[in-house]
Amino acid sequence: MSVPLLKIGAVLSTMAMVTNWMSQTLPSLVGLNGTVSRAGASEKITLFQSPEEGWQLYTSAQAPDGKCICTAVIPAQSTCSRDGRSRELRQLMEKVQNVSQSMEVLELRTYRDLQYVRGMETLMRSLDARLRAADGSLSAKSFQELKDRMTELLPLSSVLEQYKADTRTIVRLREEVRNLSSSLAAIQEEMGAYGYEDLQQRVMALEARLHACAQKLGCGKLTGVSNPITVRAMGSRFGSWMTDTMAPSADSRVWYMDGYYKGRRVLEFRTLGDFIKGQNFIQHLLPQPWAGTGHVVYNGSLFYNKYQSNVVVKYHFRSRSVLVQRSLPGAGYNNTFPYSWGGFSDMDFMVDESGLWAVYTTNQNAGNIVVSRLDPHTLEVMRSWDTGYPKRSAGEAFMICGVLYVTNSHLAGAKVYFAYFTNTSSYEYTDVPFHNQYSHISMLDYNPRERALYTWNNGHQDL
């Protein structure tokens, strides 16, 4: 008798009764050649010699409705895990999922900014129309002032057009990601009937285009902060969460640290999606407790302030060991010079496009914020700047492109109020609104890989 077709995507147990199997199709789907031996009313299709080496299929008697009832013995789980194509497919699926998550964040941010851009474009056109209409009704001086102001705004037109073009590019990228996800899902059902090299190239191309799109933002002066997106509400009022700023795009692990002092437990989630669902995580138990919430993950290691000391600790996740620890000369600790909310936030570690930074204060600096570049290997201070801004008056702070931005409060109504430029050793006061959705920020960090601000706001993890 012949063995009818059963989709290879069906779930099989170690000894499962399956119907509608086609013996000619299974070997080609899994990339194997089988041999068939007939023995009267039943037959045996042997693809390998034993279940440990591969598939074995047995058929039994014919059912009353004419179908053949078959028993399938699948190989040990380790055999499947060694299959190169299955492993590559799984890796590709994970990469596409990571790209999709990054696209969602980028699209949300871009959509909000585009609304602002369109409003500015409408305002410019309205101003131009009013300027033309008012040609004869204004004094020469007033008219010239308006004309000069309009001339200053004209270069923005090309920027607006480029921004709209970039937005269209993001929409096309999103559609390509969806198409690729559909292709991978179909391949997963067919167990490998597709060109993996072609898929790998498509994934790499999408990652490169996404990275290039994000890099277009470049380094410049901060002029606005978009409204945050709440990723999850988990833990106590104070804490920190972060991703590795130096990790490749395929690595979207999330680290979670609840509380602001004496804590030692760090949860590592495999992806942002797992963090949202609270699944697929491992636990690291730090050998020394932390103080504050100013931790950062950089190139596979956690940098944090050791509790009741001014010691910086570098903990390596893979080896689960402390690689180096060093005192930060003169740095206050144990709530001597915290941010306005307290919480042992004397020392705050940050990463931007140029490397690892520490923000703290000393008695010698009269409680003003000091920002220092640290060598990530030795934790030695490479250079320091005295910003002149009192740390107890700061709500939180973050670094972007070598510029330290400081908020004037951790509560509702906070603004980015102060900026210190390390490249020129100069500062300026700013007035950038900062949406404090849950009214109590205890952690604020910039991620240069994603060009996004991570916040812990009253038990909510925002992005």
Question: Which residues are within 8 A (CB) of 391 and not within 5 positions of it... i.e. 6 or more apart?
Answer: 337, 338, 339, 360, 361, 367, 368, 369
Please choose, from the candidates 354, 334, 356, the residue with its C-alpha nearest in 3D space to the C-alpha of residue 345: 334
Phi (first) and psi of residue 169, to 5 degrees: -65, -40
Query: For residue 195, what is the DSSP state?
Result: -
- Is 61 a residue whose pLDDT tops 80? no
Report the share of the chain in percent with pLDDT over 70. Answer: 67
Alpha-carbon distances of 16 from 10, 47, 57, 263, 301, rounded to whole Å: 11, 17, 10, 48, 46
Q: Which is more confident, 64 or 385?
A: 385
| Average pLDDT rounded to a whole number, residues 443-448 | 95
pLDDT grade for 35, boundaries at 50, 70 and 90: very low
The H or E element that residue 84 is part of is: helix 84-133
Residues 327 and 309: beta-carbon distance below 8 Å: yes
Alpha-carbon distances of 318 from 299, 301, 322, rounded to whole Å: 11, 8, 11
- Is 268 a residue whose pLDDT tops 50? yes
Q: Is 293 exposed, middle or buried (0-12, 13-18, 19+ CB in 10 A)?
A: buried
The H or E element that residue 207 is part of is: helix 196-215
Supply the pLDDT for residue 177.
Answer: 77
CA–centroid distance for 457 within its chain: 18
The H or E element that residue 327 is part of is: strand 321-327
Lowest mean pLDDT among 188-192, 259-263, 393-397: 188-192
Supply the pLDDT for residue 435.
Answer: 87
Query: Alpha-carbon distance 242 to 219, whole Å?
Result: 22
Question: Which among 38-42, 134-138, 336-340 has the top mean pLDDT?
Answer: 336-340
Max Cα–Cα distance, the chain, nearest Å: 108
| Average pLDDT rounded to a whole number, residues 5-10 | 30
Q: Over the chain, what is the mean pLDDT? A: 77
pLDDT in tens, 421-430: 999 999 999 9
Supply the pLDDT for residue 210.
Answer: 62
Question: Which residues are within 8 A (CB) of 195 and not within 5 positions of it... i.e. 6 or more apart?
Answer: none
Alpha-carbon distances of 67 from 20, 24, 39, 64, rounded to whole Å: 7, 16, 18, 7
pLDDT grade for 109, boundaries at 50, 70 and 90: low
- Residue 230 β-bridge partners: 462
Phi (first) and psi of residue 358, to 5 degrees: -130, 135
Question: Which residues are within 8 A (CB) of 121 and not within 5 positions of it... i.e. 6 or more apart?
Answer: 157, 160
Would you state the structure tokens that stand for residue 37, as one six-digit string?
């031996």
Lowest mean pLDDT among 137-146, 278-287, 314-323, 416-425: 137-146
Residues 258 and 236: beta-carbon distance below 8 Å: yes
Count of Cβ atoms closer than 10 Å to residue 255 Cβ:
21
Residues 430 and 438: beta-carbon distance below 8 Å: no
Residues 255 and 297: beta-carbon distance below 8 Å: yes
User: SS3 for 391?
Assistant: helix
Residues 269 and 461: beta-carbon distance below 8 Å: no
Alpha-carbon distances of 457 from 89, 154, 345, 439, rounded to whole Å: 38, 39, 15, 7
Query: Alpha-carbon distance 171 to 111, whole Å?
Result: 10
Supply the pLDDT for residue 164.
Answer: 72
Q: Which is more confident, 85 or 124?
A: 124
Would you state the structure tokens that stand for residue 362, as one six-digit string?
């000393």
Let me know how long the chain is.
Answer: 463
Residues 320 and 419: beta-carbon distance below 8 Å: no
- Residue 298 β-bridge partners: 301
Q: Which is more confident, 435 or 258?
A: 258
Residues 446 and 350: beta-carbon distance below 8 Å: yes
User: First-to-last CA distance in the chain?
Assistant: 61
Lowest mean pLDDT among 163-167, 340-344, 421-425: 163-167
